[in-house]
Chains A and B, each alone.
Chain A
């Protein structure tokens, strides 16, 4: 009996290792080639020149800046809009509430490409009417569109679990309405708000399809830039970019993981 358990333990480990190889091998290959002197996949010696060229490439740097600005603004506005919406939706009853919640989920369940072309239709129509061109603002609006539902989904369960009498208790204890809301309600919803913010931020960073249809002629973000670079020809600058992005993601993930562990410890101490 013990022997079979050991065997399945080893098999499990092998399986996890194989999956990890599958997940990381492509990234490892990109990172490896980012240090290659030559342009092809033949190793011609170590070099950092692709990194140098990457930082000198104004298009990529500009696109990176745009991506981050859009992600920060979109997740910020989506979080405010979504948190307020969740609080309000929670006060609807019965069918109305189900209807609003389902409507709110449309951007999540409908295919990205359909959302992209539908927004493009809207913006072209409005553009003709009010004489503007698609660009930064339309991309920002589109990103807010697909971010808010994630905030609502993350905040909603927290509101339902919250004891609504704590708000009244805060009022009784001398808070004004704003203080009671800020100090008690927001505090209570914070984990949900934070995960909504985080999801919005990452989805915005990663988005290609919706940006592609709503960006107009000039606006570039990182996905669009990568698209135009990899479509033309293989460029080792992309490898260098991948390596740096991977590093950034790794650092962020480690920070989040440490934060979670810290929170768990605090929780464990409390109980």
Chain B
């Protein structure tokens, strides 16, 4: 039980299948097609600065909406009976277990021209297109990742010692003051970890914008997908930039939050 040996297979595994691949990305990003050192992949990657910014923007808005929706939800759930809490959490998880692509496809079905929403609103005399715009992409992201925001906030709120709340009440706080001075500060680690869990995948995912967005809603993940099959060098350079950006983001979040909550 005191031996370090059981971890050797996994450490070897990590070196071969995690470290070396990442090293290869770095290597490929700094070479040209013939394997010579070159900065050309990066200069090509800068063509996509606009796409990169747009991806971050979409991810930021999606994360903000998830937070606004999830925070009160998590709070409400913690106020319920214990058995009801489990059921509500389970109900939140079920759609998450459906296939990632089916969840987006479901929104395509809902939002398409002559789809249910279009038909319903047409009857009321409203005619519009609901798919193929940035709003639809954000909607898809929120749908995909909302549970990732709810769960960490809920977990942290559950752990708040009821005694602290009672103490605050005994000391004369009303329920708003209790929330502001006790519950909110203690829920911050959950919020931080929720933001991380929503922002990282929504900034880097692909397909959501291909299914729900218009031509100018293309995201950085879609660019990597498109480029990598023909030009691995530029693809690697963009991947490297994305990865460095995400790591910097995580370090900043780590700085604000409690280390354990992020992992």
Is chain B a partner of chain A in the same complex?
yes
Number of A positions contacting B (CB below 8 A): 86
Distance A30 CA – B225 CA, assembled complex (angstroms): 28
Distance A113 CA – B222 CA, assembled complex (angstroms): 10
Chain A positions within 8 Å of B, measured between CB atoms, are: 12, 15-16, 19-20, 22-27, 29-30, 33, 40-42, 81-82, 84-89, 91-92, 100-101, 103-115, 117-122, 125, 141-142, 144-145, 148, 152-153, 164, 167, 181, 185, 202, 205-209, 213, 222-223, 226-227, 230, 234, 238-239, 241-242, 245-246, 249-250, 252-253, 257, 260-261
B155 within 8 A of A: no
- Interface pair B20/A249, CB less than 8 Å apart: no
B54 within 8 A of A: no
For window 1-41 of B, CB contacts with A under 8 Å fall at: 1-11, 13-14, 17-22, 24-25, 28
Distance A181 CA – B6 CA, assembled complex (angstroms): 13
- Interface pair B110/A16, CB less than 8 Å apart: no
B143 within 8 A of A: yes
- Interface pair B224/A245, CB less than 8 Å apart: no
Residues on B with C-beta less than 8 A from A16 are: 73, 76-77, 88
User: With A84-B7, A85-B6, A85-B9 given, is the CB distance from A253 to B22 under 8 Å?
Assistant: no
Minimum CB–CB distance from A17 to chain B (whole Å) comes to 11
User: With A23-B95, A153-B263, A230-B101 given, is the CB distance from A113 to B204 under 8 Å?
Assistant: yes
User: With A15-B76, A260-B86 given, is the CB distance from A26 to B4 under 8 Å?
Assistant: no
Minimum CB–CB distance from B41 to chain A (whole Å) comes to 13
Cβ contact of A87, chosen from B1, B25, B98, cutoff 8 A: B1
**CB pairs A–B below 8 angstroms (9 shown):** A113-B204, A113-B206, A121-B24, A181-B1, A207-B100, A234-B108, A245-B99, A253-B97, A261-B83
Question: Which of B76, B106, B204 has its CB near the most chain A CB atoms (within 10 A)?
Answer: B106
B168 within 8 A of A: no
B67 within 8 A of A: no
Nearest to B23 among chain A residues (CB) is A118
Distance A81 CA – B16 CA, assembled complex (angstroms): 14
- Interface pair A245/B17, CB less than 8 Å apart: no
Minimum CB–CB distance from B36 to chain A (whole Å) comes to 17
Summarize B's interface: helix, strand, loop or mixed.
Answer: helix
- Interface pair A26/B207, CB less than 8 Å apart: no
Interface digits, B218-252 against A, CB 8 Å rule (1 contact, 0 not)? Answer: 00010011001000100110010011001100100
Residues on B with C-beta less than 8 A from A153 are: 263
Cβ contact of A222, chosen from B19, B99, B232, B246, cutoff 8 A: B99
- Interface pair A117/B109, CB less than 8 Å apart: no
- Interface pair B246/A110, CB less than 8 Å apart: yes
Cβ contact of B207, chosen from A41, A88, A121, A208, cutoff 8 A: A208
Residues on A with C-beta less than 8 A from B211 are: 230
Residues on A with C-beta less than 8 A from B236 are: 117, 121
B94 within 8 A of A: yes
Distance A207 CA – B232 CA, assembled complex (angstroms): 23
Question: Which stretch from B111-119, B129-137, B158-166, B181-189 is at the chain A interface?
Answer: B111-119
Residues on B with C-beta less than 8 A from A106 are: 14, 18, 22
Minimum CB–CB distance from B33 to chain A (whole Å) comes to 14
Cβ contact of A81, chosen from B5, B13, B91, B107, cutoff 8 A: B13
- Interface pair A185/B1, CB less than 8 Å apart: yes
Nearest to B222 among chain A residues (CB) is A113
Residues on B with C-beta less than 8 A from A241 are: 102
Closest 9 CB pairs of A and B: A88-B7, A111-B204, A26-B106, A85-B10, A118-B21, A88-B6, A84-B6, A12-B76, A249-B97
Residues on B with C-beta less than 8 A from A24 are: 95
Distance A234 CA – B106 CA, assembled complex (angstroms): 11
- Interface pair A114/B239, CB less than 8 Å apart: yes
Distance A107 CA – B108 CA, assembled complex (angstroms): 30
- Interface pair B109/A253, CB less than 8 Å apart: no
Nearest to B20 among chain A residues (CB) is A122
